[in-house]
């Protein structure tokens, strides 16, 4: 009997096989917990004579995936598979061990954007041009690397299947969790806002924000302690919980509060810790997995369990986090969400600043978008859950934060609204630098400034929430339109110097492969349609 896939993975697998046959490469972008690895295992099973190389960020991922496969007991020829980490591949010499490979699996392929790992993958793909390539990841975008789209860079249009976390929950593929937010360590945030208020030139605005800050301080002082929050929401008193921390110092500090914070849940607590650089992590991780006692089981971890590693029987996760990338955020949430498990897991999000508190709305919006798309495409019958429910410990605190943030960034807000109107009208934010709105706002210059501030090329402040809002209206953090224009212009200039005209044949390509004939034809068509006029007239 062959490996049986959930229906969503079976559909993705069929698309993968078809795309590999036509194009030689395919990618699957599905959320954490949906069982992407079984698509690759099914591919291996279907091609028993082929040799595979499976690349992944860590050996922990390999181990867990093979354990999960073992529980299903399929007869899959894994002796034909070479499991290799990206780091080990990067350290190999040319052609070392890479001969005879028929298929290459790039697990967590967004990690191929890392400089050293990326060079190793690039070399492998050049050495094995005939090998078919399957990419698996929960995301195609490297949010903290200038929004690089690794799906586009590695696979182009060959995305066989794509699904958001919101869609997976809406369709019932992943269980809808109990999502609880609370706020912790707010004094640093208050200090930041106090400085912002003191720097305001408008006395009226300064007075208004001062009153709002005082109201926020009083509301936060009335907030309950984490011990009461945990006791109320961690209802599985002997459950297993993953506690995510930001770094080793944060882990040590959080673990030192174990008895204080979690003692009200269960007087008996078994506490473990695991992080990549600790040689004892594997043993601690194993003990945590095997612990079936009546004690409350807590595994404090940093980056080891962010991606690819699933632990059976998790009751929930606790996120002790500063503002982090959406990739890591979703991966950590995904540790509690697994396809086929019916229990409703707990996600306790302990955020420590406004940006972290407000970023949760992104998940709600993602689910709302998925529901609307399913209804609009005639697949409304697939919807199991329509709302992403969030239990806020202190909704009043969030609202006070939002009001204060809104007032302090009113100048930024005016430009943002202008950018929103431009995006709605033109379908993008590829705004020429010299562009000015009818109201006299130098919107092109402002967009350029946002890019420079985020890239560290110019002094300024840009919050995570502001970045998310710009992303939502189509912000491209590298101006690809202008970059493409400059490249095309240089090739056109070289052609004119060589041939004395721009009567470029439609199929003409330059020596480096640039399709100049097609570029010229598209440019003429755009000009005739009145498109890109601002760029063409600069």
List, for residues 390-412, the tens digit of each pLDDT value.
777 667 777 777 777 766 765 67
Question: Of the spans 185-189, 425-429, 432-436, which averages the highest pLDDT?
Answer: 425-429
Token pair 């396809």: residue: 339
532 versus 94: the higher-pLDDT residue is: 94
Question: Of the spans 144-148, 179-183, 358-362, which averages the highest pLDDT?
Answer: 179-183
The average pLDDT across 334-360 equals 66
Average pLDDT, the chain: 81
d(CA 148, CA 181): 30
The average pLDDT across 238-260 equals 89
Question: Of the spans 149-158, 187-196, 238-247, 420-429, which averages the highest pLDDT?
Answer: 149-158
Instruction: Give just the sign of the alpha carbon dihedral 134, 137, 142, 144.
Output: negative
With cut-offs at 50, 70 and 90, classify the pLDDT of residue 46.
very high
The average pLDDT across 205-216 equals 77
537 versus 133: the higher-pLDDT residue is: 133
Tokens for 324, please give them: 């982090």
Q: What is the pLDDT of residue 355?
A: 55
Q: Which of 65-69, 171-175, 346-350, 522-526 has the lowest mean pLDDT?
A: 65-69
With cut-offs at 50, 70 and 90, classify the pLDDT of residue 171.
very high
The average pLDDT across 123-148 equals 87
With cut-offs at 50, 70 and 90, classify the pLDDT of residue 298.
very high
The average pLDDT across 198-217 equals 73
d(CA 233, CA 315): 11
Longest dimension (CA), the chain: 85
d(CA 34, CA 335): 11
Query: What's the order of all strands across the beta sheet hosting 25-29?
Result: 81-85, 52-56, 103-107, 132-137, 25-29, 159-162
Q: What is the pLDDT of residue 153?
A: 92
With cut-offs at 50, 70 and 90, classify the pLDDT of residue 538.
very low
The average pLDDT across 347-364 equals 67
d(CA 150, CA 19): 18
Q: What is the pLDDT of residue 534?
A: 45
Q: What is the pLDDT of residue 17?
A: 96
The average pLDDT across 225-250 equals 89
Q: What is the pLDDT of residue 533?
A: 46
Alpha carbon 297 to its chain's center: 28
3-state secondary structure of 183: strand
109 versus 396: the higher-pLDDT residue is: 109
DSSP type of residue 176:
P
Strand 269-274 with 52-56, pairing: unpaired
- Residue closest to 180 by CA, chosen among 137, 221, 230, 143: 230
d(CA 436, CA 433): 9
Helix/strand number for the chain, H first, E second? 23, 15
How many Cα atoms within 13 Å fall on the side-chain side of residue 425?
Answer: 9
With cut-offs at 50, 70 and 90, classify the pLDDT of residue 278.
low
pLDDT beyond 70 at 95: no
Output the CA angle 371-377-382, nearest 5 degrees: 55
Tokens for 368, please give them: 């709302």
Q: What is the pLDDT of residue 50?
A: 92
Q: What is the pLDDT of residue 459?
A: 64
Q: Which residues contact 65 (CB under 8 A, 6 or more apart)?
A: 37, 41, 308
450 versus 74: the higher-pLDDT residue is: 450
Transcribe 212-271 into DSSP letters. HHHHHHHHHHTSPPHHHHHHHH---TT-EEEEE-SSHHHHHHHHHTHHHHHTTT-SSEEE
pLDDT beyond 70 at 21: yes
Q: Which of 44-48, 213-217, 220-224, 387-391 has the lowest mean pLDDT?
A: 220-224
With cut-offs at 50, 70 and 90, classify the pLDDT of residue 51.
very high
pLDDT beyond 50 at 211: yes
| Cβ 394 vs Cβ 223: under 8 Å | yes
d(CA 167, CA 202): 45
Q: What is the pLDDT of residue 23?
A: 95
Q: What is the pLDDT of residue 201?
A: 59
463 versus 330: the higher-pLDDT residue is: 463
d(CA 14, CA 1): 18
| Cβ 317 vs Cβ 336: under 8 Å | yes
């Amino acid at each position: 009997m062959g490996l049986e896939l959930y229906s969503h993975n079976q559909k993705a697998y069929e698309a993968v096989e078809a795309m590999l046959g036509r194009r030689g490469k395919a990618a699957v972008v599905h959320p954490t917990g949906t069982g992407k690895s079984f698509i690759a295992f099914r591919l291996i099973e279907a091609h028993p004579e082929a040799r595979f190389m499976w690349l992944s960020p860590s050996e922990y991922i390999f181990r867990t995936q093979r354990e999960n496969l073992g529980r299903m007991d399929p007869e899959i020829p894994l002796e034909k598979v070479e499991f290799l980490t990206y780091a080990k591949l990067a350290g190999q010499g040319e052609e070392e061990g890479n001969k005879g490979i028929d298929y290459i699996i790039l697990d967590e392929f967004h990690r191929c954007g890392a400089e050293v790992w990326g060079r190793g993958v690039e070399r492998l793909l050049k050495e094995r041009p005939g090998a078919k390539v399957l990419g698996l990841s929960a995301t195609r975008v490297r949010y903290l690397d200038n929004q690089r789209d690794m799906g586009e860079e590695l696979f182009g249009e060959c995305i066989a299947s794509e699904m958001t976390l919101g869609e997976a929950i809406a369709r019932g593929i992943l269980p809808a969790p109990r999502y609880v937010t609370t706020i912790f360590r707010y004094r640093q945030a208050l200090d930041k806002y106090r400085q912002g208020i003191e720097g305001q030139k408008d006395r009226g605005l300064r007075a208004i924000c001062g009153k709002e800050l005082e109201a926020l301080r009083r509301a936060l002082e009335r907030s309950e302690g984490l011990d009461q929050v945990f006791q109320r929401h961690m209802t599985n008193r002997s459950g297993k919980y993953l506690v995510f921390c930001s770094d080793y110092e944060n882990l040590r500090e959080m673990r030192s509060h174990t008895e204080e914070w979690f003692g009200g849940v269960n007087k008996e607590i078994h506490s473990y810790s695991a992080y990549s650089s600790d040689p004892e992590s594997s043993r601690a991780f194993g003990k945590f997995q095997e612990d079936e006692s009546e004690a409350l089981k807590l595994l404090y971890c940093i980056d080891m369990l962010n991606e690819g590693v699933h632990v059976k029987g998790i009751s929930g996760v606790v996120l002790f986090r500063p503002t982090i990338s959406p990739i890591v955020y979703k991966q950590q949430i995904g540790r509690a969400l697994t396809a086929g498990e019916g229990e409703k897991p707990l996600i306790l999000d302990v955020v420590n600043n406004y940006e972290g508190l407000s970023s949760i709305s992104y998940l709600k919006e993602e689910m709302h978008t998925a529901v609307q798309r399913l209804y609009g495409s005639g697949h409304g019958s697939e919807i199991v859950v329509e709302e992403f429910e969030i239990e806020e410990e202190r909704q009043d605190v969030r609202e006070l934060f939002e009001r204060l943030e809104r007032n302090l960034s009113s100048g930024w807000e005016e430009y943002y609204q202008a950018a929103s109107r431009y995006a709605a009208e033109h379908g993008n934010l590829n705004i020429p630098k010299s562009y000015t709105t009818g109201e006299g706002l130098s919107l092109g210059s402002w967009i350029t400034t946002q890019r420079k501030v985020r890239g560290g090329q110019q002094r300024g402040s840009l919050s995570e929430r502001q970045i998310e809002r710009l992303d939502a209206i189509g912000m491209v953090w590298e101006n690809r339109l202008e970059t493409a224009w400059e490249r095309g212009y240089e090739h056109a200039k070289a052609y004119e110097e060589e041939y004395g005209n721009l009567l470029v044949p439609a199929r003409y390509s330059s020596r480096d492969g640039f399709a100049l004939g097609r570029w010229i034809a598209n440019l003429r068509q755009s000009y005739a349609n009145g498109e890109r006029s601002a760029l063409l007239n600069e």
